[in-house]
């Protein structure tokens, strides 16, 4: 294991907790996108570029888009 791997794993561990503990919806969207980006980096470090690309397009772009719509609607927008 190299320090880079340990560091990014630590960030992912903290990121997961941060997402779950965020109760404000707008912040939640940002936190979950950020968490997805952390996962992307982790997957790159794990030599999985295909998975990283998937996580990037889904977790950091596609899914937040849907969530934003859901939040706008939930707030009666």
Q: Which residues of the shown chain bind other proteins in the complex (CB under 8 A)?
A: 1, 5-6, 9, 12-13, 16-17, 19-23, 25, 28, 32, 35, 39, 42-43, 46-59, 61-63, 65-67, 69-74, 77
Minimum distance, C-beta of residue 48 to other proteins, in the bound complex (Å): 5
Please, how many CA atoms are within 13 Å of residue 75, restricted to the half-sphere of its CB?
9
Minimum distance, C-beta of residue 62 to other proteins, in the bound complex (Å): 5
Minimum distance, C-beta of residue 13 to other proteins, in the bound complex (Å): 6
**Residue 15 burial by Cβ neighbours in a 10 Å radius (0-12, 13-18, 19+):** buried
**Residue 67 burial by Cβ neighbours in a 10 Å radius (0-12, 13-18, 19+):** middle
């Amino acid at each position: 294991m190299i320090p880079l791997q340990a560091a990014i794993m630590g960030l992912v561990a903290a990121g997961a907790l941060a997402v779950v503990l965020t109760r404000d919806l707008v912040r939640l969207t940002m936190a979950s996108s950020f968490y997805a980006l952390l996962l992307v980096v982790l997957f790159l470090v794990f030599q999985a570029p295909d998975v990283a690309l998937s996580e990037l397009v889904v977790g950091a772009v596609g899914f937040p888009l849907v969530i934003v719509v859901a939040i706008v609607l939930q707030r009666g927008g």
